[in-house]
């Protein structure tokens, strides 16, 4: 079991209850990463579902949970031949912290070179341009006192213009682009993708904002099971106004396939 698998494991108590332990390694300052929290909850949902893959997740982040023991409570709302819909709530000390609705289904495994059946309609938008990985670079390691533990759990290699904000040269547009993988070798799976869709620095940093930018709601879709190797994350925003911003992330696998999409709304960063 990898460190990520261990940090996201959910232990079944009964048909509607799973025990989890929220890992300090996935914190940003004092807050646990939202993608990590979704991955924890999805472990429980998938274990309890007759279907294997979380194809649609909509999560409301009600409060900031703390590191340590928690419970995932499940309510199966509908189950049929092709999909199951479950409500999942992350609870600590009797208080709900994250509330999510999850649709599970079964997707085909990735097979190199495999083409869809001839009678299946398929189309995909072209992948957004990214420089070769050797032209991308990491952010400097955070200072120990910043408590950015999450940065040690993953590798992000950025398209250089999108981290100009770090040196006081933001592009003026809400954007972020990077290659992503876990620091410990592990092929990406749906739970890693849950982390990946929330792994980029907030896109408003590139527009000139700084500070903590808490997610209020995040919806993401699993579009295909990913090929092994690096993931490519393309983040953008449409509007920054009245103390709010949106963030859209598209995830491509090492074969260039679109494997995940997300949309979130968040409060504007504050120092």
Q: Domain containing 77 — which CATH number? A: 2.40.160.210
Does 248 fall in a domain?
Answer: yes
| Confidence band for 245, pLDDT divided at 50, 70 and 90 | very high
Query: For residue 124, is it within any domain?
Result: no
**Is there a domain that residue 192 lies in?**
yes
Number of domain units in the chain: 1
Tokens 């579009």 — which residue?
223
Nearest alpha carbon to residue 222 among 240, 241, 196: 196
HSE-CB of 217 using CA atoms within 13 angstroms? 6
Give the C-alpha separation, 228 to 197, whole Å.
17
| Residues 90-115, mean pLDDT to the nearest whole number | 95
Torsion sign (Cα): 256, 261, 265, 271: negative
Cβ neighbours, 10 Å, residue 254: 18
Residue 136 lies in a domain: no
Residue 129 lies in a domain: no
51 within a domain of the structure (yes/no): yes
In this structure, is residue 117 part of a structural domain? no
For 160-217, the pLDDT digits (tens) are 999 999 999 999 999 999 999 999 999 999 999 999 999 999 999 999 998 889 999 9
Tokens of 8: 């996201």
Name the residue range of residue 263's domain: 3-106+145-267
Within a domain: 85:
yes
């Amino acid at each position: 079991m990898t460190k990520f698998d261990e940090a996201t494991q959910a232990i079944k108590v009964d048909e509607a209850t799973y025990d989890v332990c929220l890992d300090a390694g996935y914190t940003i300052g004092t807050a646990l990463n939202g993608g990590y929290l979704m991955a924890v909850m999805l472990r429980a949902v998938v274990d309890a579902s007759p279907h294997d893959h979380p194809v649609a997740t909509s999560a409301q982040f009600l409060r900031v949970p703390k590191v340590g023991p928690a419970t995932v409570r499940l309510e199966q709302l509908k189950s049929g031949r092709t999909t199951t819909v479950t409500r999942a709530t992350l609870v600590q000390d009797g208080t709900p912290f994250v509330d999510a609705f999850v649709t599970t289904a079964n997707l085909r495994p990735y097979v190199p070179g495999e083409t869809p059946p001839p009678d299946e309609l398929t189309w995909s938008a072209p992948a957004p341009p990214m420089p070769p990985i050797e032209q991308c670079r990491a952010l400097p390691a955070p200072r120990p006192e910043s408590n950015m533990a999450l940065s040690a759990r993953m590798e992000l290699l950025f398209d250089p213009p999108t981290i100009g904000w770090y040196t006081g040269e933001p592009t003026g547009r809400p954007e972020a682009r990077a290659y992503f993988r876990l620091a410990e070798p592990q092929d990406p799976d749906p739970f890693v993708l849950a982390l990946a869709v929330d792994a980029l620095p907030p896109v408003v940093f590139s527009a000139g904002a700084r500070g903590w930018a808490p997610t209020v709601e995040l919806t993401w879709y699993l579009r295909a099971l990913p090929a092994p190797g690096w993931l490519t994350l393309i983040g953008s925003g449409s509007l920054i106004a009245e103390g709010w911003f949106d963030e859209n992330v598209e995830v491509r696998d090492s074969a260039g396939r679109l494997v995940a999409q997300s949309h979130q709304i968040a409060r504007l960063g504050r120092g």
